Structure 1
Amino acid sequence: MAERRVELLTATVEQIEARGVAAVRIADVAAALGVSNALVLYHFSTKDELVAAAFAHAAEGDLAHLRKLLGRRTPAVRRLRAAVRWYAPTGSAKGWRLWIEGWAAALREPALRSVTRDLDRRWKEALGEVIAEGVAAGEFRCPDPEAAALRLTALLDGLAVQMTAHPGAVTRARTRAWADEALARELGLSPADLTP
């Protein structure tokens, strides 16, 4: 039963990425897996519940990868750089289209708003904790790790919207440079200090 639920959530994420939140239907998810609509409805009583659960499923995967990057036994500055580079729209993180869809739909869907708000909070907390660790270890200075994490994620989210909605508006190289510059500035370092 748990495996079937994961299959349904994965198929829903794929359908959202292909069609968008507004256009995806329970029938699309069922057809993608070759199952009945009734089976999807057995696990998720409404489309809104299915979509919110699919976003939560995708978020857990992203957060697990973030925890892996931030949990390494390396200096905080290296862990932060790896996380920012992965999360930035030039990195290997997938799903920016999915998250932009989710943010837009969250304006109207309370269950999805709760999922996206929780993801956002957990990302910021994870980054803020590692920034605080680096400050405590004397690696760099940052008077407000929580605010620094908020500013970093806001910049990266905004760049992702630009790169996803307006391809070519900002180059990948420029985006990566801006991400490095922002991280260095938040840590009281120069971009050259970020290189291993």
Structure 2
Amino acid sequence: MTEVRRRRPPEVRRQMIVEAAIPLLHEFGLRGVTLRGIARAAGVSVGTVTYHFRSVDDIVDVAVAQDVTAYYERLEERIRAETDPLAALDVLVDGVFTEETRRHWQLWFDSLGSTMEGREVRTGQQSRYARWNEMLRAMVTGGVEAGAFASADPDRTVSLLVALVDGLSLQRLRGEPTLTSEQARDHFRAAAGQLLGITA
């Protein structure tokens, strides 16, 4: 089995290493993973890992970016698939405040606050925010056209919705004051309803 893996293309082995690191990050945190642990999980030698990555930080950087991006891409697909604007809003509310998203936010927040350069995380974050804003604007304008939402300024509404998600998510991470996922969803739903002019 090891011999077969060694014959795989370099980009495949590199991705195997990244994918092996992701569950370790969720289990042990940003500073709880090691080269040896990642190599063991990927089924490769430590030498193979260091051939593709200079350090654990480089692996973590790519792994966090891929993990966060993959989750939000799946969520965006579910939101865009909804033809009913109110149902799309429900998917958004239920999707951004879960224990899974809390873990993603924790990894992202820790990586940006660490000594690692975080090039992939920062680049991925910029790209994700651009996609996120585009998706939310489509949801808002589509809802206005369908008569489900009332928004005179979709761009302002989107900026405020993004700020609400970010602010509530960071409060959940800090825990001061304590904010559960259910409370965050309730707060966001109420505020979004006011911003979007939802009366029922």
TM-score band, normalised by shorter chain: 0.7 to 0.9
Matches within 5 A, 1:113-128: 113-128=122-137
Unaligned 5+ segments in structure 1 are none
Distance across 1 between alignment mates of 2:91 and 2:160: 17
1:99 is matched with: 105
Unaligned 5+ segments in structure 2 are 1-8
Structure whose CA Rg is larger: 2
Give the TM-score taking structure 2 as reference length: 0.77
Amino acid at match of 1:64: E
**Percent identity of the aligned residues?**
26
Q: What is the Cα deviation at residue 158 of structure 1? A: 3.0
Matched, 1:184 2:193: yes
Distance across 2 between alignment mates of 1:26 and 1:182: 44
1:18 alignment partner, one of 19, 27, 35:
27
Q: What is the Cα deviation at residue 95 of structure 1? A: 4.1
Distance across 2 between alignment mates of 1:152 and 1:48: 32
Aligned CA RMSD, in angstroms, stands at 2.7
What is the number of equivalent residue pairs in this alignment?
188
2:4 is matched with: none
- Deviations for 1:87-133, whole angstroms, at most 9, x for unmatched residues? 123xxx61422322322322452402222232233222211221122
Distance across 2 between alignment mates of 1:43 and 1:132: 44
SS at match of 1:71: helix
Relative contact order (C-alpha < 8 Å, sep 6+): which is higher? 1
SS at match of 2:197: coil
Q: Which runs of 4+ in 1 moved over 6 A?
A: none
1:146 alignment partner, one of 151, 155, 175:
155
Single out whichever of 1-10 and 76-85 deviates more from structure 2.
1-10
Amino acid at match of 1:170: L
